[in-house]
Amino acid sequence: MINLKIIVGSRRPNRAADKVTPWVMNKVSERGSFEAELLDLRDWDLPLFQEHPGSLGDPSDPTYSEPIVKAWNHKIREAQAILIITPEYLHGMPGLLNNAMDNVFASFAFRNKPVAAVAYSTGIAGGARAIENLAHVALEAELILLRNTVIIPFVDHAFADDGTATNSMTDAAATVMLEDLEWWSNVLNTARQSGQLPPGSARLRALMAKSRT
């Protein structure tokens, strides 16, 4: 089974995320290949990013400014795959979610892992711009963002009372995305186990130090 962490990127009372998340969990469970854990940012009261060299301590297992940041980094490190559920706020992903990703700092815990995205909004854009924003952040975190995503416009009408999707395209998109997530998880898991290059920043520093001697 693939260790999947599902991150929920809204913490508002009465959030639409509470319609989307059970449907996503159901789709993941139907697929049968993931052992999923929900990381709801409502339950992860992370500080606004505040790390610096002094707060990190031992680089192989940083201390961080608060125990919850360390626990968050350990949680992400366990993951073999990530699935992000995000609304669109101001044509991007919520600051809350961006902050949670910033807090995966110094551990490189996202590195070389696949990330799938389910985005939604009350308007016609369906969170597409939140995913474009996520793509920029994922690149720097060295997460592999899957091309096939789920975009849910008019989220208030996207799910029936029994939790099923009202548009069959939503279900089909989830199937395609989870097929990709399974494939990429297996590929990248094998690749990580066969050995990873040190992070580029470390290699760059080493080369520059050598060039100065």
Two structure tokens written together for 195: 């050995």
First to last CA, the chain: 48
What phi and psi, each to the nearest 5 degrees, are found at residue 27? -65, -40
Contact 35, 3 (CB under 8 A): yes
Rule CB under 6 A: say whether 10 interacts with ligand FMN: yes
2 versus 96: smaller Cβ distance to ligand FMN: 96
Site for ligand FMN contains 51 (CB under 6 A) = no
Q: Confirm or reject binding of residue 125 to ligand FMN (CB under 6 A).
A: yes
Q: Check residue 123 for interaction with ligand FMN (CB under 6 A).
A: yes
By the 8 A CB rule, do 89 and 99 touch? no
The yes or no reply on residue 150 touching ligand FMN (CB under 6 A) is no
88 binds ligand FMN (CB under 6 A): yes
CB of 43 to ligand FMN, least distance (A): 15
| Part in contact with ligand FMN (CB under 6 A); list of ranges 47-55, 56-64, 117-125, 159-167 | 117-125
Work out whether 128 is an interface residue with ligand FMN (CB under 6 A): no
Could you tell me if 151 and 173 are in contact, meaning their C-beta atoms sit under 8 angstroms apart? yes
DSSP letter string over 32-79?
A: -SEEEEEEETTT--PPSP---HHHH-STTS---SSHHHHHHHHHHHH-
Q: Tell me, by CB under 6 A, how many residues bind ligand FMN.
A: 15
Q: How far is the CB of 156 from ligand FMN (least distance, A)?
A: 7
Q: How far is the CB of 90 from ligand FMN (least distance, A)?
A: 5
Cα(120)–Cα(88) distance, integer angstroms: 7
Q: How far apart are CA 166 and CA 22, in angstroms?
A: 14
- Of residues 35, 59, 91, 160, which one binds ligand FMN by CB under 6 A? 91
Judged by CB under 6 A, the residue of 4, 6, 7, 17 near ligand FMN is 17
In the complex with ligand FMN, which residue's Cβ is closer, 41 or 144?
Answer: 41
Q: For the CB of residue 169, give the shortest distance to ligand FMN in the complex, in Å.
A: 18
Tell me how many degrees the CA angle 38-79-186 measures, rounded to the nearest 5: 120
Q: Does 87 bind ligand FMN (CB under 6 A)?
A: yes
Strands 150-152 and 81-87: unpaired
Give the binding site for ligand FMN (CB under 6 A): 10, 12, 15-17, 87-91, 121-123, 125, 155
